[in-house]
Amino acid sequence: MKKCSVFVLDDAEAITMLTRSALTMYNFEVTECNDPLAALEIVKSRTFDVIMVDIMMPEMDGITFLKTIKEFPIDPHTRFVVLSSKKLTPGEEKEIFSLGAVLLSKPFIPRVLVEKITELLQ
């Protein structure tokens, strides 16, 4: 059986490390990046089952990142998750959902993260 691939973009290394640890424990293949501009090149060159991005990052926020990669030839089965530690405005939430993403609050419980990703892939 093919491992499900998850791309994690967060400017906080601790979050990408925690996410990788939680997901690899459940047999997910994880690629991580802490720089949104470098992440664009990775996503452009590879296919992922799930792309998970932080909402607040330097140089490019998560919503802008998702809008940008939606212009790439992305697999239509790819799922999107936006991580946020801040209270979002109704406009931000609406924009996230209009991009086809689900929202997950930080800090998160690793088990809940794994459950959410598994649910998205079903």
**At residue 122, does pLDDT exceed 90?**
no
The pTM of the full predicted model, rounded to 2 decimals, is 0.93
Q: How many domains does the chain have?
A: 1
Give the tens place of pLDDT for each residue, 9-67.
Answer: 999 999 999 999 999 999 999 999 999 999 999 999 999 999 999 999 988 999 999 99
The range of the structural domain enclosing residue 95 comes to 5-120
**Among all chains, which residue has been given the structure tokens 């998970």?**
52
Domain harbouring 95, CATH code: 3.40.50.2300
**Among all chains, which residue has been given the structure tokens 């079903």?**
122
What distance in Å separates the CA atoms of residue 75 and residue 52, rounded to the nearest whole number? Answer: 15
DSSP code of 121? T
Got the DSSP string for 21-77? HHHHHTT-EEEEES-HHHHHHHHHH---SEEEEES--SSS-HHHHHHHHTTS---TT
